[in-house]
Chains A and B, each alone.
Chain A
């Protein structure tokens, strides 16, 4: 029988982690810990989600289902009938997930800083969630934060450590990785759990905001100020995470299954497309004078209003005259303003408007001069993009970019194309590696779907998971080329009911401001 303190599985999440960045750093000898893990584990690039985004990415990871199977498409509800900014929470996941399946098999869990995990759920072990709201109640048991504080390992949530426009953030990010590692290692020592997962989000933030300093080929490349070190920001933050992983590995043994996984990758960011502006020019969306910046708690989300310092003044979307709109920035989605579904819906011919919107969007070209080609390589109906029981909460159309260096915003007014605020943007390809005595060391040439990561881990651990999830074990991961004995799929009966209070329908201005500062909206 194994020691009660032995960690059976350690999952390390690197939000925005990418082999495109890691591999060259390893070749240069700058990430020794990850290099060692890769030498003894199976690894592959991953296909993540469209859009490549934190919310659907981690939700797909934890449920082993594509977004149509869990219903999380963005931080916000993309089909809110009132056009509001309604935050998605852990209880909005439309199905059971890995934590339920592991708990069912008797696992205790230590879950730390996993996006979309707030509020904490009733699970064995402990949790520090990833709140997108102003709250002190983001851990379970409630005493956890105090315990950490008394152990000189205080945990700071992402909202307290994020990028807030000051490029001095790099040092804070490095310090944040160190502090978070101290929290995690303290918990691993003081509260042994069978499975521990911790997510580091600093790589994502640094890649978003320092890419142009690190990449001479970036169209907006800027020399880093002397002595700032920003030209090596991406290297530095990966080195910080590499050292953190080393500290975590020191607390497990060779029998522990170790997984490193990301929710999406990162690459060059170039342009933002204000898609609602394009729709307005095409006569599919209408605006009206706005409320002079006044907050309307029960009204539509703030991104549907033109900023007061914008060329459009204080205009807002007039949904009583709008046929098609993008519901949430970064969702790469369009909704038909459907009568009977949306509060002010006016469209009765959904198919006709979908066809018209598809035609308009397909004609948009990249802003790189003559011959630069279409902005989107596909405009996909949600029934095709997101098959599953939760397709109804998806945007009606998904826009898949030709060039992942663009982001689709939802703002109104101004030019349709503008430089992206973030100089690094998300990529569809993420990363995965799994090291255990049962896995063979190799880099797979073909990508693995993010929904396959959990089934592969559970197969390794001999833990079952429900039949019907989209993911399946990566058989090439294992020495024998087959799933280790013991991991059997089972029929799941009733899905667990959400165990949280419904989110407020009023826009949380605090949350919106925080997400805006993080660059999510």
Chain B
């Protein structure tokens, strides 16, 4: 889980051009902390799809999905093949 969260932090910094150290991104309340909205949520999740080689269903799109890094990491890991999680 921690490795996934680290990758998610790195992707978030890259995707949203945040210009901060990825490790400074908190686990919770990302929407208010980083000023995320429905637009850059889409941007970010496209990057997440590419980074983890998964498909995020449109019906799962929500601000909630990226407001909590644990929740997103769990979502990502559930959709990754076991081999990818082990690597």
Contact = CB atoms under 8 A, between A and B. Distances in A.
A150 B50 CA distance: 9
Interface residues of B, number: 14
Contact of A136 (B38, B39, B40, B42): B42
Contact of B42 (A134, A146, A149, A150): A134
Interface in A103-151: 133-137, 142, 145-146, 149-150
A136 B50 contact: no
B82 to A, nearest CB: 22
Contacts of B43: 156, 160
Nearest to B56: A136
B50 A149 contact: yes
Nearest to A155: B46
A158 to B, nearest CB: 10
A421 interface: no
Interface residues of A, number: 15
A321 B47 CA distance: 50
Contacts of B78: none
A136 B58 contact: yes
B1 interface: no
Given A142-B55, A156-B43, A160-B43, A134 B49 contact: no
Given A159-B39, A160-B39, A160-B40, A134 B46 contact: no
A149 B61 contact: no
A47 B45 CA distance: 41
Given A134-B38, A160-B39, A145 B46 contact: yes
Classify the interface of chain B: helix, strand, loop or mixed. Answer: helix
Contacts of B39: 159-160
A135 B56 CA distance: 9
A133 B59 CA distance: 11
Nearest to A147: B50
A149 B53 CA distance: 13
B58 A134 contact: yes
Contacts of B49: 136, 145-146
Nearest to A143: B50
A160 B39 CA distance: 5
A134 B61 contact: yes
Q: Which of B45, B46, B58 has the most CB of A within 10 A?
A: B46
B29 to A, nearest CB: 21
A510 B50 contact: no
Contact of A135 (B47, B50, B55, B58): B58
Given A160-B40, A510-B38, 13 more contacts: A134-B38, A134-B58, A136-B45, A136-B46, A136-B49, A142-B55, A145-B46, A145-B50, A146-B50, A149-B46, A157-B42, A159-B39, A160-B42
11 contacts: A134-B58, A134-B61, A136-B42, A136-B45, A136-B46, A136-B56, A142-B55, A146-B49, A146-B50, A149-B47, A157-B42
